[in-house]
Every structure is written in C-alpha cells, then in structure tokens.
A and B are shown apart, each in its own frame.
Chain A
C-alpha cells in the first residue's frame, strides 16, 4: 500500500505537497482535440489553502479532476507532471490511484445532494470509504462512521447514520460529503464549488467547518470557486485561471489589493460589492460609455402598481412527518395539518420601482413571486394590481386574461427556461403569438426590435438555445419577458447561473431597460450584493414572514432586524 511520506513542516524549503508542472489536459471531442488546461503550474505547500478562481470554462475543475485522475473517458493528461508528496500521479497505476483517493487526497463537489448515492444510507456510504481504505475492522465500522458524522457537527449522528440523502437539508448533505471526504484523514482536500447553491449562512457554516477541520489536521486545501469573496476570505494563496491558462498566482492579500493581470482586474470589477454603483461593474471603457443610472423618483401621489395585503399560502403537510409523529406519539400538541409557506405578508411596488425580495431557501420568496405572477392560488389575502384584485382570479383562468400581458417573468435558469427546439426568434415571439394580435408580417420586425433592445446581435435570432452562450440565453429570456410591454417583471434570480462578468452586463441591461421602458421589477434573489445594486427597496423574508422592508441603502447599512444582520454578516467580501 502506498503511504505518502509526511514532509517536515517547513514551508518554503520543504517539498510541496502538490506540485503541478506544465499540466496540459486534452479532451477528444467530435470537433477534434480541445485543450481544456494549457501548461499550468501550481504548487501547494503542506497546510496551505489555495484558491483557484475563474469563470466557467476556465479549466479550474478540469485541473482538479486531472490531479485526482478522475477525468472522464474523453479527457487525458497530455503533458506535464503531477507530483503528490514526491509521488508521480501521472504515472501511477489505477490501483495505486484508487488507494490514494479518499485516503490521501479527497474531493468535495458542488450540489451535495447529487453527490451522494440517493438510495444508500449516509452511514453506509461513509462505511464504504472506511472499509475500502481499511481504516477500521468490520465490527467497529459503524461506530467510526457515527464518530465521523459527529466531527462534522451533525446533530444526533446516530439517527442521521440511518438517513437517506433526500431526508437531509442541503447544508446537512454537504456536511455528510465533507465527512465522507475527511473520514480517512487525507492530506489534501479539493473542494470544487462546495457552497454553490447553498444559502449564505449555510455557506459560512460549511466553509468555517472545512477550514477548522483542515487546520486542526494540518491538511492542505484547494478551494475551487467563481466567488472572489469566498476565495479572499478563506485562502492563503489564489490562482486565477482564464481559458485554461493560469494568469496570476499571488497571496490573497496581494491579489485583491493590487491585481496585476487585466483579467483579474476585470473579475474584481465585475464582482458585486458594497459601496459601488451598477456601472462600476462594467469594464472601465464600457462604464464610461454607459448612461448614468436615471433616478426617476417615485411619485408619492401616484397609486402603487402592486399592493399585496396579508397574503397567505398554506400547503397541506406531507403525510410522512405526521404519520411518523403519530406512530411515535412524540407530539402531545397536535400540530396543524397545514404548512404556512407565506404567512400574512403585505408590501407595495410603485410604478417604475425596483423591489428586491431576499431571504434564504424555504423562506417563501418563490411562493410569493409565484402568487403575484398568478401561477398559483393564494390561500387568503389580496393581490391588487393596477387597481384590480387579481388575487381573486383563479390562476388557471389568468393565463388568457389581458392582465397576463402586464405581469411577465424572467426565470432563474436561462437554459432550462427556453424550449430547446425553438430558435431565439421563436422564443421571443412566443408571448406575442399567444397574447397579442400582432400580424405575421410585423412579428419578425418586432423580434428584431426586442433583440436590439436587449443587445442581442440579430444574427443570433435564428440560433437554437444550445448554440447560444449563457449571457445570450439570458438576453433571450429578458426579450421574451418585455415583448408584451409589461408593467411588472418578476425576476427570479436571473443572474444566479451566470458568470460574474456576464452578470455585470445583464444587471446593467436590466437597469437600462427599466429606465427606458418604465417597468417595475420584483427581483427575487438570495444575493444581497446584487440586490443592493439593482433595487430601490428591499424586502427581507424569513419563515414566510417579512422581517424587514425599506430603502435598500437603509436596510443594508443599518439593518434593524437581527436576521438581516446575520444575513449580511455571512456574505464573504473581497478585501477591497
């Protein structure tokens, strides 16, 4: 069995734990060989935390897969060497690699729920790893697994041992994944976007846990992320990657204060942070060209566009929990049979106003937006839109009413929200064909007009979604939403799936459209920094209730509710 020699702790002169030299990774594709990673050099000392930062397609994940030698079939290391504690990983046999994986080097992935076997108890999954690497005998393995779960701060580890992944929350699943990765006390942990898709407070808890455990054990960590703030907060050293190249490697305090490469500066600029305006996100030359953000003050005398009053949405509780409780009789007080997803909220949106709706997953923000969008029916309360009580109209019949045109939506995932068999032009034309009496002849010119408005070059109109980039797809989604000249657009995390530089452009586009078309926005997001830039007012929700609402500046800088303070404190900021 291979056992990597433990180098003396003497950073600087000692052999680095991981030494990647001139690594080139190639993928065989239908259109020939593509180099995903080109001649990169990375060194990682023992006990060091290294951040690899870059946008999608930069090759940061591929680098880590190459180190672990878990590239898929089409990928291969074409050039260079990977030395791990003096072992040549490129030349190691598959059996040796299997021995190293999980025992000396392990990996945690994004989307923790998908990273676990859905039909195997989490305890057994941990046992598989322990037994594979002969960490304990068969008789002690269950105790050891419980112990490992305890180390990642999972409450009631003995019970959780028997849980399936679908019975645990996202944060809890990520703890299990961490437990799995650290069960055999490896020397190197590679965390690939470990907190993407988790709430900020969960993200903080998970990252703090990783840092604490790895420090305690003197482990080295590679943190792969697109979030500069996260890298700055947790890493000693940062590697910036662009299109397969390493463009900059510096200690993290240096890189954020004095980024030397143009790409790093661009990334830094595009990252939403406090104290800047929307235009500051764009590269310098574009920011100079852009119009200043128009401030059309909301007229106090004008009636608000949307008034939501004591809105409630209840769902019947799922049978499982209630029947379990009945079985064990643990609840003396019979719990109500309904779950209040939205619990009596009231707010208003004025014409031309942009309102942010923030909160963590499960707080009811999506349910609220769906009710305002009239996709689902409320339980009680009123939704008044332009003086009409649209809440009283059943969601099913709303789709054919003239009011449908006035409220439109931009969805979270720009890819999934487009029909893959529709061209961009057809997607944009869809609402026009369904809800307006536009003639065939005018249709194309209207689509072109809309494409121009959202900055989509006209030659892309006849492409299918898979032929468009993420930013272009987002533009199609926005063009579709504004096609009917709505008064209110509900934006459900429209930039969550985009890279920061694309996000910067899309956010600015949204602002420009609002200024020129005079629409109102209800911007649903968990990213407070983005909300700060785009929204005039913000509503903070927690467990179905509004905990705080007010002008963005006031809420962000002087939050009144303790929950808002917690949310704000959990955001990692790059030290600018």
Chain B
C-alpha cells in the first residue's frame, strides 16, 4: 500500500509536465482559430473581435493561467465547433474507444501469447515459422489498410459483418449505461440483442487492432521464453522430473512475463494512436475521431482535452504495469 502511494505521488510531476506541453503544443500549431471561426468572408475587425472573445489576444502566460484554473475546476472548456463542453464529449466517447482498444488488445494477447510460447518451445518447427510470418504480415500492414480489407471481404463480399457504422446496428438500442462498455453493460442487463449487435460491430475493428499488435507481443513472448528456457533453473526443474506443463507455465512463463508485460504497455499506447485511424474507417464514435476533427478545425479545447486524457490513461497504465511487476516478481517488490 505504501509503495502504491509512493508510486502515485510520482505521477503528479508527470501530469504537470503533460499539461504544460499540451498547452504549448496546441498554441504552436499552425492555423488561427479566430480566422477559422470568423469564416472566409469576415473582415479584419470581426476576426479581431472573435479573437478577443476567445481570449486569444492575451499573453500566453495569462491564457495558461486561466486554462489551469478552469482545469482545476474540472472544466476542459467548450468545443468551438459543436459548442458542447469537452468533458461531456470525452466522457461519452472514451468508453467507445477504450472498449475497442481493450477488445483488440485482449484478442491479441489471447492469440499472440500462446503462439509465442509454442514458437519458443518448438523452436524451428512449423509453429515457429507460422508465428514469424503472421507477426511480420500483421505489423507491415497499416491499420487503415487492414481495416478496409476486412470490411471489403467480410461486409462487401461475404456479407457476414454488419455495415461498419458505429457501435450498434441501426435497429438495436444501446444498453442501459453502467460502465459505458456496451459488451459489459448489455451482459449486466441481460440485453442479448444489444450484446450480439455490439459484438458484431466490434469484431472487425477489434480484429484490425489485434492484427496490428500481434507482432510485438508474439515476438517478445517468444524471445523472452527462449531466454528463460535456456536458464539453469529450468534445467533443475527438468532434472527433478517436473512435467513439461509445470516447467513451461509455472517455471518458464511466469519468469518470461516481465518483458511481455512491458511490451503490453507499449502496445497499448500504440493502439491508442492507431485507434484514430481505425475509428475513422469504422465510423466509430470514439475520442480519436473527435480529436482529429477538432485538430483539423484548430479547435484548441478538444485537442487539449484529448491529449490530456491520453496522457492520464498512459500514466495510469504505467502505474498498473509497475504494480503488475511487483505481483510477478518478488524482487521488484523489495526494491520499490
């Protein structure tokens, strides 16, 4: 517990840094929001007026001060394009993105980790080669391409999948909001038609992300397993006649997990990035597509909100991984 609290306090400087950097970055972006909102026909005076009303004429430090004080009150500002508060938008859209990313990641773990273990145990066999080919293919295809390819094959040609338009097909109604994850909410409320519908919608984009993230997870599992399998305690375990299941799972895999967990953290953050494109392809109402639209229209508040949300997610994820380390390896517990 004490370790956790100590680790939590380390987050604060991280977040402060993120706030400063996102603020400066959005200001450094090209494009003048005032000119954008005034429209092409606006006069110089009206642009100036809009600039004043947006507070963009004040010095940077004053702008930053007001941004931080608003932030402290939980106000991320309003989107200029939609007029809605950024916080509400993110709150509505984050579960969609999170559900998609987690679904893709879990799917990927379920496939890649056993594949990596098998490839290491049967090094040089056909499984090993399959693992290599699948991984290379997956990582060399860009997500928007895999996404479109999947849509083309499974929706257009085979007709197995529903239209890639959002989280539910048009006839289903969303389940009662509990976690915001449709799969979980519909299960909790026993709404089977919503469950099936959301699963159908989730499959293709999830698969797209899964294919993209297979490679690092499978390769890292394999490499890490190979190192551990060559170590002396594995020889001891074999020499004591432990069966190969125990040797591979309890002895080898648990030891090989540390680098795999590290990779998972990185893959998750890659996926958060890759999400932006996948959401566009599948018309997914997530925060990625929201941020891209805001960015194109030089809408500061949503972009800042998006980057901040991502940073918080990322920091939380790293914390989770650090805690996982402690669970896996008692030596880490001692050092912390």
- Asked if B243 is at the interface of the complex by the 8 Å CB criterion, the answer is yes
Ranked nearest first, the 3 interchain pairs of A and B with the lowest CB-CB distance are A101-B241, A102-B241, A102-B240
Q: A117-B251, A119-B254 are in contact. Are A129 and B240 (CB under 8 A)?
A: yes
Q: Is A479 interfacial (CB-CB < 8 Å)?
A: no
**Is residue A303 within 8 Å, beta carbon to beta carbon, of the partner chain?**
no
Contact between B328 and A119, CB atoms less than 8 A apart: yes
B331 contact from A119, A129, A132, Cβ within 8 A = A119
Q: What CA separation (Å) do A8 and B250 show in the bound complex? A: 40
Considering only residues 49-73 of chain B, those with a C-beta below 8 Å from chain A are none
Q: Does the CB pair B233–A129 fall under 8 Å? A: no
Which residues does chain A contribute within 8 Å of B251, judged by CB atoms?
117, 120
Q: If A70-B235, A114-B232, A114-B233 touch, does A119 touch B330 (CB 8 Å cutoff)?
A: yes
Q: Give the nearest-CB partner of B234 in chain A.
A: A117
A-B Cβ contacts below 8 A, count: 79
Chain B window 293-336, contacts with chain A (Cβ cutoff 8 Å), 1 for yes, 0 for no: 00000000000000000000000000000000000111100100
Which stretch from A48-56, A104-112, A355-363 is at the chain B interface?
Answer: A104-112
B241 touches A98 (CB 8 A): yes
The distance from the CB of A216 to the nearest CB of chain B, in whole angstroms, is 21
Complex-state Cα separation, A166 to B250, whole angstroms: 18
Residues in A114-139 with C-beta less than 8 Å from chain B: 114-120, 128-129, 132-133
Name the distance in Å between A18's Cβ and chain B's nearest Cβ.
15
Is residue B157 contacting chain A, with contact meaning CB distance below 8 A?
Answer: no
CB distance from A192 to the nearest CB of B (A): 10
Q: A320 touches which one: B237, B250, B329, B334 (CB < 8 A)?
A: B334
Other A-B pairs, 4, CB within 8 Å; known A73-B123, A106-B239: A70-B239, A114-B232, A118-B329, A119-B331
Q: Which residues of A contact B242 (CB under 8 A)?
A: 98, 102, 128-129, 132
Query: A119, B255: Cβ atoms under 8 Å?
Result: yes
User: A residues within 8 A CB of B231?
Assistant: 114
Q: For the complex, give the distance between the alpha carbons of A248 and B250 in Å.
A: 43
Given contacts A164-B331, A166-B331, contact A115 B243 (CB under 8 A): no
Is B130 an interface position by the 8 A CB rule? Answer: no
Residues A116 and B236 in contact, CB atoms below 8 Å apart? yes
- With A and B bound together, what is the CA distance between A129 and B239 in angstroms? 10
B:170-203 near A, CB below 8 Å: none
Contacts of B235 in A (CB 8 A): 70, 109, 115
User: Is A99 part of the binding interface, using a Cβ–Cβ cutoff of 8 Å?
Assistant: yes
A180 in contact with B232 (CB, 8 Å): no
Taking CB atoms, residues of chain A closer than 8 Å to B246 are: 128, 132
Q: What is the interface residue range for chain B against chain A? A: 20 to 34
Per-residue interface assignment for chain A, residues 166 to 183, with 1 indicating a CB less than 8 Å from any chain B CB and 0 otherwise: 100000000001001100
For B334, list chain A residues within 8 Å (CB). Answer: 166, 320
Separation of A107 and B238 alpha carbons in the complex (Å): 10
Contacts of B238 in A (CB 8 A): 70, 101
Known contacts: A102-B240, A177-B236. The answer to whether A118 contacts B331 by CB under 8 A is: yes
What distance in Å separates the Cβ of B43 from its nearest Cβ neighbour in chain A? 66
A374 at the interface (CB under 8 A from B): no
Contacts of B331 in A (CB 8 A): 118-119, 164, 166
Instruction: Knowing A117-B233, A119-B329, A320-B334, say if A107 contacts B239 (CB, 8 Å).
Output: yes
The verdict on A100 contacting chain B, using a C-beta distance below 8 Å, is yes
A447 close to B (CB within 8 Å): no
Q: A120-B251, A132-B246, A320-B334 are in contact. Are A115 and B241 (CB under 8 A)?
A: no
Query: Can you list, as one digit per residue, whether each of A62-104 has a CB less than 8 Å from chain B (1) or not (0)?
Result: 0000001010010000000000000000000000011111110
Which of B237, B241, B254 has the largest count of A CB atoms less than 10 A from its CB?
B241
Question: Which residue in chain A gives the minimum CB-CB distance to B244?
Answer: A98
Residue of A nearest to B246 (CB): A128
Specify which chain B residues have a CB less than 8 angstroms from the CB of A68 in the assembled complex: 239
Is the Cβ of B241 less than 8 Å from the Cβ of A132?
yes
A68–B236 Cα gap in the complex (Å)? 11
Asked, given contacts A128-B250, A132-B246, A180-B236, whether A118 binds B255 with beta carbons under 8 Å apart, the answer is yes
List B contacts of A164 (CB < 8 A). Answer: 330-331
Proximity string of chain B (227-265) to chain A, C-beta cutoff 8 Å, 1 when within and 0 when not: 000011101111111110010001100110000000000
With A118-B331, A120-B250, A166-B331 given, is the CB distance from A132 to B240 under 8 Å? yes
- Is A132 within 8 A of B233, CB to CB? no
- Asked, given contacts A114-B232, A120-B251, whether A106 binds B330 with beta carbons under 8 Å apart, the answer is no
B331 nearest in chain A by CB position: A166
Contact for B233 among A97, A100, A102, A118, CB less than 8 A = A118
In the complex, which of the residues B233, B239, B331 has the most CB atoms of chain A within 10 Å of its own CB atom?
B239
Contacts of B123 in A (CB 8 A): 73
Cross-chain contact A117 with B232 (CB below 8 angstroms): no
Question: Nearest CB to that of A183 among chain B residues?
Answer: B240
Is the beta-carbon distance between A180 and B240 smaller than 8 angstroms?
yes
CB distance from A161 to the nearest CB of B (A): 14
B243, A132: Cβ atoms closer than 8 Å: yes
Alpha-carbon separation in the docked complex, A102 to B240 (Å): 4
Chain B residues near A98: list those with CB within 8 A: 241-243
A98, B237: Cα distance in complex, Å: 10
- Of all chain B residues, the one with the shortest Cβ separation from A72 is B230
CB proximity of A174 to chain B, nearest CB, Å: 12
Complex-state Cα separation, A103 to B250, whole angstroms = 20
B253 to chain A, nearest CB (A): 11
20 A-B residue pairings within 8 Å (CB atoms): A68-B239, A70-B238, A98-B243, A101-B238, A101-B239, A106-B239, A107-B239, A111-B232, A115-B232, A115-B235, A115-B236, A116-B233, A116-B236, A117-B233, A119-B329, A120-B251, A128-B237, A129-B241, A132-B243, A320-B334
Contact status A133-B329, CB under 8 Å: no
Residue numbers in A under 8 Å from B239 (CB-CB): 68, 70, 101-102, 106-107, 109
Closest Cβ of chain A to B259, distance in Å, is 14
> Taking A128-B246, A164-B331, A166-B331 as contacts, is the C-beta distance between A117 and B237 under 8 angstroms?
yes
A100 to B235, CA, bound (A): 15
Q: How far is A307 from B236 in the complex, measured between Cα atoms in Å?
A: 48
Cα separation A181 to B328 with both chains bound (whole Å): 26
In Å, the complex CA distance between A97 and B244 comes to 12
Question: When chains A and B are docked, how far (Å) is the Cα of A101 from the Cα of B329?
Answer: 28
Which residues does chain B contribute within 8 Å of A133, judged by CB atoms? Answer: 241
Name which of B233, B329, B334 has the most chain A CB atoms within 10 A of its CB. B233
Question: What residue in chain B is nearest A107 (Cβ atoms)?
Answer: B239
Q: What's the Cα separation between A253 and B255 when bound, in Å?
A: 46
Residues of B within 8 A of A320 (CB): 334
